[in-house]
Amino acid sequence: MIYRGLYHFYVAHHKGLATDPIKYFAAPENKDLGIVKSIRKPFKKLIVDPFPERVSREGSFFFEPSAQPCLTTALAP
């Protein structure tokens, strides 16, 4: 990205629009060159519970597994 940006700085320098490459790359109007990256937003945890305000359970998704055995495994021949 710097290599490509140096060409743009070179052209701006010869037109008399820029004298310092650091200031040129950091300028808001040259944001499209992609030299200075924008600050990322912090990670936010997504709450997928349909009613998050009712009960806050750690590690649960939508339901708790039942303690009763399934009917197919509870039947003995």
The full set of domain ranges for the chain reads 2-74
- Max Cα-Cα span within the chain: 91
pLDDT at 36: 79
Q: How far is CA 68 from CA 6, 65, 77, in A?
A: 69, 9, 19
Band (49; pLDDT cuts 50, 70, 90): confident
Residue 74's pLDDT band (cuts 50, 70, 90): low
Q: What is the pLDDT, as a whole number, of residue 12?
A: 93
pLDDT (average), residues 37-64: 70
How far is residue 21 from each of residues 2, 34, 40, 71, 74, measured CA to CA in Å?
Answer: 10, 14, 24, 73, 75
Q: Which two tokens stand for residue 9?
A: 């700085």
Q: Is the pLDDT of residue 73 over 70?
A: no
**Residue 68: predicted pLDDT:** 67
What radius of gyration, in Å, describes the C-alpha atoms of the chain? 29
Cβ–Cβ contacts within 10 Å for residue 50, how many?
A: 7
